[in-house]
Amino acid sequence: MRLEPRRPSTKGPANMFTGDVWFEVIAAPQPAPSRMRVNSVHFAPGARTAWHVHAVGQTVHVTEGCGLIQSRGGEVTEMRPGDTVYTPPGEWHWHGAAPDTLMTHLAMWEAPEEGAESEWGDLVTDEEYRSRT
């Protein structure tokens, strides 16, 4: 057993997020064979990720607030505390807070044995974000 050192909160970079987003790394790359990653991500109202895709998929679990998530070509879906959403490998998507509330989720994914964990695309436009029906 090994107690991991506490890591500071990190501001989400502007090329990957719109609005104020902060995250804490909970599980980072461990010695092989582990490839698990977990971040606690805190979104201000209206804040969101850019479009992105994960090589081995991603699971998001909402712990507080209200969030939104969308796969490319799909509908914007509301997420609430306790909701868990799985996005399969290679599926472009974004997620973030609803316009009027903070949202925190755990983002969980694995790194592939070789290659990039994630690919980041364009920022989600205000029009895309507001496209809720």
Tell me, what CATH number does 30's domain have? 2.60.120.10
Per-residue model confidence as pLDDT tens for the chain (133 residues): 777 777 889 999 999 999 999 999 998 876 677 788 999 999 999 999 999 999 999 999 999 999 999 999 999 999 999 999 999 999 999 999 999 999 999 999 998 888 899 999 999 999 999 886 4
In a domain, 90, yes or no: yes
User: Number of structural domains, the chain?
Assistant: 1
This prediction's pTM:
0.91
In three-state secondary structure terms, 21 is: strand
Which range marks the domain in which residue 47 is found? 21-120
In a domain, 107, yes or no: yes
Strand segments, DSSP code E, in 19-132 are 21-27, 36-43, 48-49, 52-54, 58-65, 67-71, 77-79, 84-87, 93-97, 103-110, 118-120
In a domain, 34, yes or no: yes
In a domain, 30, yes or no: yes
In a domain, 43, yes or no: yes
